[in-house]
Amino acid sequence: MSGGDAKLVRMANQIATFFETQPGIDPAAATAAHLNDFWPPPMRARLLEMIAEGGTGLRPAAAGAAPLIRRPGEAPVHAVPVDPGVPPVRAGEEAAPANPAFQSEGGSDG
């Protein structure tokens, strides 16, 4: 495995390791959401290739994230929900975290 690939595996595993410790969520889905939010398309594409080639060295949550990882060029998998009635400049100053694993049940009133 090349140095770059090994680094991708290590980083994906770090992310998977974190989400595997969180209660009440699907670690693979959360890992995919994190990768979609933070990894640029070429890194996601290479990771998907490696998973397709067998995913050597990847933790289950990282390998299992594949179906939910956004393929470059595809529509966003986890777009932030947008209410069409909300004006473009919202009252709160920040969008909710994009990863659904962290969206609170009660909804944000910020």
Interaction site with another protein (CB under 8 A): 4, 7, 10-11, 14-15, 17-18, 21-24, 34, 36-43, 72, 76, 78-80, 82, 86, 88-98, 102, 104-110
* Cβ 91 to another protein shortest distance, Å: 7
* Cβ 55 to another protein shortest distance, Å: 18
Alpha carbons 55 and 28: distance in angstroms, whole number:
14
Residue 41 CB neighbours (<10 A): 13
* Cβ 52 to another protein shortest distance, Å: 19
Q: Which residue lies nearer to another protein by CB, 53 or 105?
A: 105
Q: Which residue lies nearer to another protein by CB, 19 or 64?
A: 19
Q: Which of 53-58's residues contact partners 24+ apart within 8 Å by CB, and which partners?
A: 56/1, 56/9, 57/1, 57/6, 57/9, 57/13, 58/9, 58/12, 58/13, 58/16
Copy the structure tokens of residue 70: 């956004």
* Cβ 97 to another protein shortest distance, Å: 6
